[in-house]
Structure 1
Amino acid sequence: MTSLADQDLDSLGGPLSILTRQKRDHERLDRLLHRLDRSAPGVEEQTTLQAIARLVFPHAFAEESVLWPEARRVLPDGEALTLQVEQEHQEVNELWTSLEDLPPGSPERAEALARLTTVLREDVRDEEDELLPRLQEAVGVRRLRLLGVAWEAVRRTAPTRPHPVVSRRPPGNALAALTLTVLDRSRDVLESGARRFPHLHVQASRASDGLAAVAGRVEHAGLLRRGEDPSTHRD
């Protein structure tokens, strides 16, 4: 079993393969985490975190919706393997949410950022060194490419922000997808507009906060926690 990090494009199944797509995102994440290490507290750090969020949360949502159900279907120990990764995803969601209440430059924020970086790197290694190579051994190249296309379609239409209350498994995450995606991506547009047009910052911020409140209410709908493993959530 060979880590994705040590495989070339042909070994991974070509550009359409889910393995190629996963490795590409993981390499981009590594670059962003190095940038985060060098970012000054404040605007620079927040800008880098936003770029990481736009990469990490759609990526993870697509894994939870497309990849991990497949792993549980074809691998004898797929339940245990995917549960470990889902727990890492849950911790990332919780850490990210906690950052909203921690002031820039504070020791508590630095500690949360350090833990966030550690968990993200552990998640990549668990996926590239074990879970995805195991999936590679269990299914053919054609299936890897079909999974890649499905994963990409979900990733492009997935929520872009942390949602720690929502289930990490279907059907809860699938039920949450449409509403939370619309809310998250609407907030992204508002915040992007505020950066381009600073005179609209106050109005955009208020609108974004309103959408965040709606998302918070949506998250707590009981249906959206259906399917999760009880050990994933600690509340």
Structure 2
Amino acid sequence: MTNPRGNGLRSVADQSEEERGGPGSILSRQSRDHADLDALMRAHDAETDPDARGRVLAELAERALRHAFAEETVLFPAYRTHLPEHGEELTRHIEGDHQQVNELLEQLQDADPRSAGYDELVHRAFEVIRHDAHDEEDDLLPRLQRVASVEELRAIGAAWEVQRRVAPTRPHPRVPRRPPGNALAAVPLSVTDRVKDAAEHLAGAGAARRAGTAVAAVLLALTAVAAARALRRR
């Protein structure tokens, strides 16, 4: 399929998993996560019960924030290293969008789905998330694919997945969008966010699991910081 941007690149959305470098490649990991986020946005819009919409939005917000954090910590530095002539401009643009999403989700964090301004804030957040996914799949990732080996794409994907798993789960618009500031901030924020998550779900089946991940998050976050630094030195 022709790339809608007309940049001569083939969107990763139109590639098979094998073409992307396998399931562990950063291209495949990003594409799967984008599809999951899109499914959650569609589920939210199709839901009529306000309480259920709030629950879907909370899940989507956590997934989107962890996805973005992993990009900022691993993918974008790798892109700027491999493609210095394009990396700064495109990643700075997407980092600005990430900041906007953090701010919007912070406003929505305690918003009532029945409130007058809820739908407008959600629409703005969804619009930016979808725009970023297209920027990445149609431009950033195909450019990286053109210059990085399959082994490098898989290494970036593995580091990205570590960061995604340990990333903060709540919006933090005042945290830097670039390493090392964001990676270092992730260690305490990952713990405090998960403690808050557990406290909010004490009556639910997932409470014990969420609380139990806090200590593991610290250890994984430290590993993730080291992995991100190693990638930047390559």
RMSD: 1.5
Preserved contact between residue 41 and residue 105 of structure 1 (Cα < 8 Å): no
Separation in structure 1 between the aligned mates of residue 111 and residue 33 of structure 2, nearest angstrom: 28
Q: 1:186-223: CA deviations, max 9, x gaps?
A: 122222223359xxxxxxxxxxxxxxxxxxxxxxxxxx
Instruction: Tell me how far 1:42 sits from its aligned partner.
Output: 3.0
The 1:61–1:37 alpha-carbon spacing in structure 2 relative to 1, beyond 3 Å, is same
Preserved contact between residue 51 and residue 113 of structure 2 (Cα < 8 Å): no
Question: Which one of the candidate residues 95, 98, 101 is aligned to 1:89?
Answer: 98
Question: Which one of the candidate residues 71, 77, 82 is aligned to 2:79?
Answer: 71
Alignment TM-score, normalising by the size of structure 1: 0.80
Instruction: Tell me how far 1:183 sits from its aligned partner.
Output: 0.7
Question: Which one of the candidate residues 170, 178, 181 is aligned to 1:169?
Answer: 178
Instruction: In structure 1, list runs of 5 or more residues that go unmatched.
Output: 198-235
Separation in structure 2 between the aligned mates of residue 191 and residue 102 of structure 1, nearest angstrom: 15
Alignment TM-score, normalising by the size of structure 2: 0.80
Matches within 5 A, 1:80-229: 80-100=89-109, 102-196=111-205
Instruction: In structure 2, list runs of 5 or more residues that go unmatched.
Output: 1-8, 207-234
Separation in structure 2 between the aligned mates of residue 16 and residue 193 of structure 1, nearest angstrom: 34
Residue of structure 2 in register with 1:44 after alignment: 52
Separation in structure 2 between the aligned mates of residue 72 and residue 196 of structure 1, nearest angstrom: 42
Letter of the 1:5 partner, please give it. A
Instruction: Tell me how far 1:172 sits from its aligned partner.
Output: 1.1
Q: Figure out how many residues of one structure are paired with residues of the other and give that number.
A: 197
SS where residue 156 of structure 1 aligns?
helix
Residue of structure 2 in register with 1:59 after alignment: 67
Preserved contact between residue 57 and residue 161 of structure 1 (Cα < 8 Å): yes
Q: Which moved more, 1:163-172 or 1:182-191?
A: 182-191
Separation in structure 2 between the aligned mates of residue 58 and residue 190 of structure 1, nearest angstrom: 20
Q: Which moved more, 1:181-190 or 1:141-150?
A: 181-190
Residue of structure 2 in register with 1:227 after alignment: none
State the identity %: 49
Instruction: Tell me how far 1:101 sits from its aligned partner.
Output: 5.5
Instruction: Tell me how far 1:39 sits from its aligned partner.
Output: 2.2
Q: 1:91-111: CA deviations, max 9, x gaps?
A: 100001112464322331111
